[in-house]
Chains A and B, each alone.
Chain A
Amino acid sequence: MRRLHLQSKVDNWLTYGLVIFAYIVIRILIASGNISSALQGQLVPITAYIVMAVSLNLTVGVLGELSLGHAGFMSVGAFSGVITATLLTNAIPMSWLRLALAMLIGAIIAGIFGFLIGIPVMRLQGDYLAIVTLAFGEIIKNVINVIYIGYDTNGIRVSMKNTSALRLDEGGKVILNGPMGAVGITKLSSFTAGFILILITLFIVLNLINSRAGRAIKAVRDDKIAAESVGISTWRYRMMAFVTSATLAGAAGALYALNYSTVVARKFDFNTSILILVFVVLGRMGNIRGSIIAATVLTVLPEVLRAFNEVRMLVYAIILILVMLIRNNTPLQRLLQIIGIRRRNNNLSTVEEGDDA
């Protein structure tokens, strides 16, 4: 038990170390001008995606429930974060504090949504649970598409018709413009802010996993009935993992949205949820470091594949299929072992612990 404890500790420090190391390397690259502008523009989205992947891993890998609507929480966080940041423009001049508050509010509101959607979700299992999270993501997208929010000297105005129905005074400003999304956002996000958010996320998730509650969550994943019979409240621990996951996604959403001047609800659709799920599965479920690496590699990959120009997304799809085939096909794995590409014992143990979830 003590050895296990030590092992997980070393493992966690490795994860922190990797993130800090990557941050320093990229800072040096930026300072020496050795990084392409396209890649530099991807830095904040990459950090947001890493937080998304780590938080989804909590639901999919640690709790063992498939969520197809994680981008929905990102959306909630993104738009509440943008609204917070815009409303506080005059009150708080420091942009870092505004960003921090926007992420905090985004996280809290996404957490509340996580709890509300968790009530029906926790009654279901398996594919039925997955479809409800999918439905939730689509509902969020559609509802944000018909909401108009603006503010003027008299305060905030909300409408579901159009911008003129807001009846703003002169000098009033539209924040959320229905299908056009949030417009006129002041860019607040920075790579450093993203880096700090990743560290906070890791701190929360890794500590949760290695705590009493985390062991309870894993017990629920491995056998719900057995867990319940030894007195673990399945509802409570499933909800805990789900809400934590939603909260972190909300913060990531705020970070992501405040990196652009406009953001539309369509950006956070089913495809985005799936994209993040791909990060989690490719990085191995339950493996936090894997999520970080997969999110980074798969976000950079389309940029690297730009050399292929038109066929790049096709190549991306083929790589995705091939990786899944190579990783999960037993005869193919045996072949790789014989050639010596994969170590025998290592391979078997990770397959069993990682993929049964």
Chain B
Amino acid sequence: MTFLSYLISGISLGSIYAIIALGYTMVYGIAKMLNFAHGDVIMVGGYMSFMATTHFGWSPFSSVLFAMGVCTVLGILIEQLAYKPLRSAPSLAVLITAIGVSYFLQNAALLIWTPNPKSFSSVVPFDSLRLFDGQLIISGTTIVTIVACAIIIVTLNTIVNKTKIGKAMRAVSEDKDVAQLMGISVNKTISVTFAIGSALAAVAGVLLCSAYPILMPTTGAMPGIKAFTAAVFGGIGSIPGAFLGGILLGIIEILGKAYISTQLSDAIVFAVLIIILLVKPTGLLGKKVLVKV
């Protein structure tokens, strides 16, 4: 029974990683860039929800919507100001700019909200679920996190595969120039991708802070790195891959913490990643790209 409860909390943590990884993987698939500032957008989302509930006294649900709105605008702003002028620049230049944006967000947060950690109260109003005569307790946050992740993955899959904008996204990720020739506005598509990714980051931020209620300017950094790892784990650029990678990473982390060593859990996660990449060099669901000479 303890194993089951570890497994469930692993899936819950994995769901958060999966939501963040979706943002990474979509932006990577379409703009071919590693958006290192993504982790810090999570932190901004957390602070926005915190401000909305404690300072403005809004309901938890509207605070989530508020955080999503602010992060969407922030994502589009970052893309327009920092990444768009570099569309034709080498990928490492864009990577360094993304790191600059990440520093900027962290330090701006440090100035606005001070380095003192804020204690975040969970936005989930439900009580914990007790199963098997109280042997298995699942908190409301855990359930909401898993359900939210499931809804997001289904919605996103529908958007990408069934709608017109999704078709544009797939076209841009396949070949930017050809997509442009077919009348697709590449810039608009990339902006929409950033908007979706950042809104997801806000959701992830709120869920993360509900589960681990300490909010600091560096809150998003480590989950950001782990989610990036998850995205690569599943094969970067692939939406089902990000989902699978996130969930697996969460489960490995929690089980490693429970059964092997608390301090070494991160090392275990990364060691598993290296082994997986040795067996499947492009991640679990990544496409193998053949190089033509």
Contact = CB atoms under 8 A, between A and B. Distances in A.
Given A314-B111, A325-B85, A325-B86, A123 B273 contact: no
Contacts of A21: none
B274 to A, nearest CB: 5
A282 to B, nearest CB: 7
Contacts of A127: 28, 34, 232, 236
B242 to A, nearest CB: 14
Nearest to A310: B111
A185 interface: no
A132 B274 contact: yes
B156 interface: no
B68 to A, nearest CB: 25
A120 B90 contact: no
Interface string B96-132: 1101110110011011000000000000000000000
A9 interface: no
A96 interface: no
A215 interface: no
In the A-B complex, list the 8 residue pairs whose CB atoms are closest, starting with the nearest: A135-B270, A328-B89, A317-B103, A317-B104, A320-B100, A142-B267, A321-B100, A313-B107
B138 interface: no
B291 interface: yes
Interface in A302-341: 310-311, 313-314, 316-318, 320-321, 324-325, 327-330, 332
Interface string A136-159: 101100110110000000000000
A270 B103 CA distance: 13
Given A143-B267, A355-B92, 8 more contacts: A66-B95, A127-B34, A132-B273, A134-B225, A135-B273, A136-B274, A316-B107, A325-B85
Given A131-B277, A146-B263, A225-B293, A317 B236 contact: no
Contacts of A66: 92, 95
Contact of A123 (B82, B88, B278): B278
B220 to A, nearest CB: 13
B264 A278 contact: no
A264 to B, nearest CB: 14
A162 B103 CA distance: 35
Contacts of A134: 225, 229, 270
A66 B270 CA distance: 18
B283 interface: yes
B104 A314 contact: yes
Contacts of B283: 128
A292 B267 CA distance: 33
Interface of A: 60, 66, 120, 123-125, 127-128, 131-132, 134-136, 138-139, 142-143, 145-146, 179, 225-226, 270, 274, 277-278, 281-282, 285, 310-311, 313-314, 316-318, 320-321, 324-325, 327-330, 332, 355-357
A278 B107 contact: no
A127 B29 CA distance: 12
Contacts of B111: 310-311, 314
Which DSSP category, helix, strand, loop or mixed, fits chain A's interface? helix
A72 to B, nearest CB: 11
Interface of B: 28, 34, 82, 85-86, 88-90, 92-93, 95-97, 99-101, 103-104, 107-108, 110-111, 225, 228-229, 232, 236, 261, 263-264, 266-267, 270-271, 273-274, 277-278, 281-283, 291, 293
A227 to B, nearest CB: 12
A274 B36 CA distance: 11
Given A131-B229, A138-B267, A328-B89, A320 B281 contact: no
A281 B229 contact: no
B103 A120 contact: no
Nearest to A328: B89
B104 A135 contact: no
Contacts of A146: 261, 263-264
A159 to B, nearest CB: 14
A355 B277 contact: no
Given A138-B267, A138-B270, A317-B107, A329 B96 contact: no
A132 B267 contact: no
29 contacts: A60-B92, A66-B95, A123-B278, A127-B34, A128-B282, A132-B277, A138-B270, A139-B270, A142-B263, A146-B261, A225-B291, A277-B96, A278-B99, A281-B92, A281-B96, A311-B111, A313-B107, A314-B111, A317-B100, A320-B96, A320-B103, A321-B97, A321-B101, A325-B86, A328-B85, A328-B90, A329-B89, A332-B85, A356-B90
